[in-house]
A and B are shown apart, each in its own frame.
Chain A
Amino acid sequence: MRESTDTFELAGRTYRSRLIVGTGKYADFEQTRRAVEICGAEIVTVAVRRVNITDAGKENLLDYLSPDRYTILPNTAGCYTAEDAVRTCRLARDAGVGKLVKLEVIGDPATLFPDVPATIEAAKTLVAEGFDVLPYITDDVVACLRLQDVGCKAVMPLAAPIGSGLGIRNRYNLKIILEKLSVPVIVDAGVGTASDAAVAMEMGCTAVLMNTAIAGARDPLRMAKAMRLGVEAGREAFLAGRIEKRLYATASSPLSDLID
């Protein structure tokens, strides 16, 4: 067992935790902070939004999640054009948390599926501007390959619609992506409970990204722990190598020396 050496690299940094979490939908910043701490994530996603200029509030999310401790991964959630996504990334970089971005260009409000051509276009621009781009994308191997070709540091295919909690609905498509891509594959969206996270990890995904599954649980802090364990269990099972599936039984106990 080489537990201590099981790390992965993303955009030049090394991580131990394969659980990446969003910070939306929590009751307050303190609950966000505790959930992130319990789930063990080292990378957290954040959104970029207008400051309320009439009431800016005293506190900021990053007062609770220090960029010294966590890799802050700004997203472009809510962007429907490549241009808006690129603008959002430029703003995020200037806010001083580095050049890693989660690129999302949404194509449809009901499914929140990505606009694939616009995502590729935005990725190209951002890579040229020196960003480390992690794109949210459909489970389409060709789209993933294009994003790898333009220089993305990972691809993040959805497993089911964002916030749906439907679980891993596309194992075969993900399997193809896992076989064909050389950059890390991170499942982003769809996970509903710990076993879903385990399934993604058992398949060999580098990491899993989730938000609603933890923040929307009846007890988010308990689910944060469950997700940590689910991701770890799935990863360990992947490394251990599961048995072949068989149609008929194979006895676990010796077949000899039975009593008469």
Chain B
Amino acid sequence: MRLSVNGEEREIEAGATIERLLEDLGLRARRVAVEVNREVVTRDAWPCTELRERDSVEIVQFVGGG
């Protein structure tokens, strides 16, 4: 199925969870936060939250800023 991840189109197997997506991206162990369709999905819900076709996912982290 197709997703939008940080504004880019991405293919992932149907029924994949957020945890699976983060694993694919090498981000599972990182300090990131995730939004799906503009709602935060908390860390504890990553393993059980299945993504759906055309979901819009945002993955963010902390960077330098003032």
Which residues of A does B touch, CB under 8 Å? 22-26, 32, 45-54, 56, 60-62, 72, 74-75, 77, 87, 90-92, 94-97, 162-163, 209-212
| B59 within 8 A of partner (CB) | yes
Q: Which residues of A contact B66 (CB under 8 A)?
A: 22-25, 45, 47, 75, 77, 162-163, 209-212
Range class of the B interface residue count: 20 to 34
Instruction: Kindly identify which residue among B32, B64, B65 contacts A95, using a CB–CB cutoff of 8 Å.
Output: B32
A175 to B35, CA, bound (A): 42
Assess the B33–A72 pair: CB atoms within 8 A.
no
* Pair B30/A56 contact, Cβ less than 8 Å: yes
Determine the distance from Cα of A161 to Cα of B66 in the docked complex, in whole angstroms: 13
Interface string of B33-49 (1 = CB under 8 A from A): 11100101011000000
Whether B25 contacts A62 by the Cβ 8 Å rule is no
Residues in B whose Cβ lies below 8 Å from that of A60: 30-31, 61-62
Q: Separation in Å of the B56 CB from the closest CB of chain A? A: 12
Whether the pair B6, A53 counts as a contact (CB closer than 8 A) is yes
Listed A/B pairs (6) with beta-carbon separation below 8 Å: A48-B33, A48-B63, A49-B60, A49-B65, A51-B61, A92-B33
A24 proximity list for chain B (CB < 8 A): 63-66
Contact B64 A51 (CB under 8 A): no
CB distance from A91 to the nearest CB of B (A): 4
State whether A62 touches B62 (Cβ < 8 A). yes
User: Taking A50-B7, A53-B59, A96-B43 as contacts, is the C-beta distance between A25 and B64 under 8 angstroms?
Assistant: yes
Tell me whether A91 and B65 are in contact (CB under 8 A).
no
Nearest CB on B from A238, distance (A): 25
Instruction: Answer yes or no: B14 CB below 8 A from chain A CBs.
Output: no
